[in-house]
Structure 1
Amino acid sequence: MEKKYFTIQEVARHFGVAPSLIRFWEKAFSGILKPTKNSKGARRYQEKDIAQLRYIYTLVKEKGYNLAGARKVIQKHSIAPTITPAEVVERLHRLRDFLIALKKDSI
């Protein structure tokens, strides 16, 4: 069984960034990134939140967009009601993992 919720520490470690950057991105992309919070106020990230963060990370850290530019790109792609770019990336990652496991099983 996979984990349903991840702490900010786990998410930050996954991306190799500080938790403060995750909180900063949460504020900068408030309409897009909304993790749930428990009764004590601790953030709990789901897979959909991590997929959004992966997309933000790709735009800002890998492609070199500034925050305003990244927001524009995300808003432009968010118009489509069917699937967001972050969901596409997440599905492709899962498909790759599945294909790798399938290849290992067939050998």
Structure 2
Amino acid sequence: MHPQTLRQYDREGLVTPTRTRGGGRRYTDDDVERLREVQRLSQQEGVNLAGIRRILELEAEVRRLKDELAAARDDLRRTREAADRVFAAGAAGDIVAMPPGRRPRRREVSTALVVWRPQSRA
């Protein structure tokens, strides 16, 4: 790609390379892929620079929305998993997670006798 073309793409904001101390441009692998896509759209598809900018913006928006959708799906999955659990008091009085429609197992019924007398107030 011609250096003047690279400078123009930089001026147009289609790619933003890092700069050296002397002002030279340094392109990452992602920058190079973006430049190839810009060149393809311009030369093979006949899209002008404003159209290319808009295409790149829309592609970035689509990526962002896909990420947001994936996060929302993960949240929904976790919410559904949490809703599938029911909590109950276990035999020892502790809280236990149970599948819906199930009850905790009971202990054997005690036959112990407990005597209680209220203390008199003096």
Q: Give the TM-score normalised by the residue count of structure 2.
A: 0.49
Q: Corresponding residue for 2:31?
A: 49
Note the aligned Cα RMSD (angstroms): 1.7
Q: How many residues align?
A: 65
Deviation by residue 1:45-90 (Cα, 9 ceiling, x = unmatched):
111110110111111111100111111111111102269xxxxxxx
Check if 1:65 corresponds to 2:17: no
Where structure 1 has 5 or more consecutive residues not aligned to the other structure, the ranges are 1-11, 13-17, 84-107
Letter in 1 for 2:18: T
Deviation by residue 1:13-52 (Cα, 9 ceiling, x = unmatched):
xxxxx21011101111x1x411111111111111111011
> Whose radius of gyration is greater, 1 or 2?
2
Q: Which has a greater percent of helix? A: 1
**Identity rate, percent:** 28
Q: Corresponding residue for 2:117?
A: none
C-alpha separation in 2, matches of 1:46 and 1:78? 18
1:54 partner SS: helix
Q: Which runs of 4+ in 1 moved over 3 A?
A: none
Where structure 2 has 5 or more consecutive residues not aligned to the other structure, the ranges are 68-122
